[in-house]
Structures are given as structure tokens and as C-alpha cells.
């Protein structure tokens, strides 16, 4: 692995693993649920995979890693929502564009230590779920469940906070607030109850929303390099990323302002994703 990642892992990821290991001692008869929050490109997937590898290889612990992104509705399902509620719901990202019933069922099965649980996967290149027959299956009961997501853990806003648009997208395409009110209601009714399953929270805190554009562009560049020039894929240009992240702005800023006090560990990131511990380490 690169020296920079090795240094990060030794300084920050290993201490997190050690704290979780101490918690696991109290969860011998049921799985331990870890929630990981971080805006797009913050490194939450890398942290989650590191922890999974660490516990699988060093502790013989069965680990299930779930991403909120893997529970997005299909394009056809989102198109139906766009007709029924708001055209903005055709774009994946915000609460209300995930299959929370499937997520609820999956988390409940993991909580009950069931076996042979299919773990959904979503293909961002095609903007549709992967075929269910290709999903990995967790054959053993999970001891550790890691659930990560860009808005995972973020609470709904007060209705009064929705009155003023936060960007051009909301001002021009959601002038009456139908979309943002629907998103907020979905967050309150369908996501917040699932947060109660989490036993421990880690947040990778960006310095501000401004960094999301740079980090998200990097993700799209890597995805394009991986799959090549395929006309059937939906990899975004930098201009498309700039428009796309406006869908995330409201809740990203809300999360940055409110979530740190609720998390057990908070790692602060600078513009280059260099970590400075803020809380818990």
C-alpha cells in the first residue's frame, strides 16, 4: 500500500479498530452496528473496507459492509417518483431516492444474525442496481455490521429551515419547496428510525461543502478510467458534477453543522483529506 495510506492507517484507522474491538466484547451474543458518515469523496468507503479487512483477518470476525448508495432505486422507479412528486427525484442521491424498505429488511436480518443474506449492490456507471444474482451473499451471521453513507446519521431539518433555497437548483427548480420538503419528510420517517440500530458512530468531517466538488470529480475520473469510454455508462463530466452536487448541498451542510456532537469519533479532513482528530481519538 502507499506510504501515505499506511501512515493514515497506523495513526487513525488502527486506533478506531481498537476502540471498536473493545466495544465488541460487550456484543458477543448479537452483532455490533457501526455507522460511518462522510460527504462524497471523504474516504468513508476506504475506512469501512479497512475495518472489514482488519477484523476479518485479525479477529476471525464476520463483517458485513453496507453502503447507502447500494440501496438507490432504479432509474425507472425514480422516474415514477419524478412524475408523481417532483422532477428532481429522477436524480439519485437524496433521501427519498433509496429503497428504505429493502434497507430496513437487510438491517433487520443482520440484527437477527441470519445467514445467507444477499447484500445489494448499485452500479453508478449505469445508474441502476446490479442484477440481484450478482449480489454478494453473507453466508455466516455477522458479528460486525458497517453501514456507511453520505447522509447516514443526518437528522431532518425543522420545517422552518426549508423555507429559503440554499443554491440555484432549489431556487429555480424547487421554487415551491415540494422537493426539499419531500426529502426532509422521507429522512424523518424512513431513515431516522434506522439510525437507532447503530451502536457506534464515526464521522469523516470535510472542512466545508466546497471540497465536495473536487472530491467528487476525482471519483468520476477514477470511474471513467476503470470502465473506459462506454456510451452505455453514465459517468459524469466535471460540469455535470457541479450541477449534481447541488442536490446534496443542503443536507451536507446540515450534517457538517449538527452531526459531530452526536458521533463517538470525528476525524477532521483538510482540502487534501489530511486527517486531524477532532473527537474520540
Lowest mean pLDDT among 51-60, 64-73, 132-141, 254-263: 51-60
Lowest mean pLDDT among 31-35, 157-161, 214-218: 214-218
The pLDDT > 70 percentage for the chain reads: 96
Specify the pTM: 0.91
Residue 139: inside a domain: yes
Domain count, the chain: 1
- Which position has the grid cell 462506454? 230
Residue 203: inside a domain: yes
Average of per-residue pLDDT values in the chain? 92
Q: Which domain holds residue 135?
A: 24-265
Question: Within 10 Å of residue 73's Cβ, how many Cβ atoms?
Answer: 21
Closest CA to 240 of 218, 217, 224: 217
Q: Answer yes or no: is pLDDT of 15 > 90.
A: yes
**For 256-269, what is the mean pLDDT?**
96
Q: How far apart are CA 168 and CA 10, in angstroms?
A: 42
Task: Report yes or no: 192 and 156 within 8 Å, Cβ to Cβ.
Answer: yes
Helix or strand or coil: residue 47?
Answer: helix
Question: Within 10 Å of residue 23's Cβ, how many Cβ atoms?
Answer: 15
Residue 13: inside a domain: no
Residue 177's domain is classified under what CATH number?
3.40.50.300
Residue 130: inside a domain: yes
Q: How far apart are CA 9 and CA 106, in angstroms?
A: 29
- pLDDT band for position 134 (cuts 50, 70, 90): very high
Residue 275: inside a domain: no
Would you state the pLDDT for residue 276? 92
- pLDDT band for position 232 (cuts 50, 70, 90): low
Residue 249: inside a domain: yes
Residue 79: inside a domain: yes
Residue 36: inside a domain: yes
- Which position has the grid cell 455477522? 142
Q: Answer yes or no: is pLDDT of 1 > 60.
A: no
- pLDDT band for position 107 (cuts 50, 70, 90): very high
Amino acid at each position: 500500500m502507499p506510504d501515505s495510506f499506511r501512515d493514515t492507517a497506523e495513526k487513525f484507522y488502527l486506533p478506531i479498530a481498537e476502540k471498536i474491538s473493545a466495544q465488541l466484547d460487550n456484543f458477543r451474543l448479537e452483532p455490533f452496528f457501526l455507522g460511518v458518515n462522510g460527504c462524497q469523496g471523504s474516504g468513508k468507503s476506504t475506512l469501512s473496507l479497512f475495518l472489514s479487512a482488519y477484523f476479518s483477518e485479525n479477529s476471525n470476525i464476520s463483517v458485513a459492509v453496507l453502503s447507502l448508495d447500494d440501496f438507490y432505486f432504479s432509474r425507472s422507479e425514480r422516474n415514477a417518483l419524478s412524475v408523481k412528486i417532483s422532477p428532481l427525484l429522477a436524480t439519485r442521491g437524496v433521501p427519498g431516492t433509496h429503497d428504505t424498505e429493502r434497507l430496513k429488511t437487510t438491517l433487520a436480518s443482520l440484527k437477527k444474525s441470519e445467514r445467507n443474506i444477499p447484500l445489494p449492490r448499485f452500479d453508478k456507471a449505469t445508474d441502476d442496481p446490479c442484477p440481484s444474482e450478482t449480489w454478494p451473499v453473507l453466508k455466516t451471521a455477522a458479528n460486525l455490521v458497517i453501514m456507511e453513507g453520505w447522509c447516514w446519521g443526518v437528522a431532518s431539518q425543522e420545517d422552518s429551515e426549508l423555507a429559503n433555497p440554499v443554491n440555484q437548483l432549489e431556487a429555480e427548480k424547487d421554487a415551491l419547496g415540494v422537493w426539499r420538503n419531500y426529502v426532509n419528510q422521507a429522512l424523518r420517517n424512513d431513515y431516522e428510525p434506522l439510525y437507532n440500530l447503530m451502536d457506534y458512530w464515526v464521522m469523516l468531517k470535510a472542512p466545508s461543502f466546497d471540497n465536495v466538488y473536487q472530491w467528487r470529480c476525482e471519483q468520476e475520473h477514477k470511474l471513467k478510467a476503470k470502465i473506459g469510454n462506454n456510451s452505455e455508462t453514465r459517468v459524469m463530466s466535471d460540469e455535470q458534477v457541479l450541477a449534481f452536487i447541488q442536490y446534496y448541498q443542503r443536507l451536507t451542510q446540515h450534517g457538517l453543522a449538527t452531526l459531530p456532537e452526536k458521533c463517538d469519533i470525528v476525524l477532521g479532513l483538510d482540502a487534501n483529506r489530511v486527517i486531524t482528530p477532532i473527537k474520540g481519538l
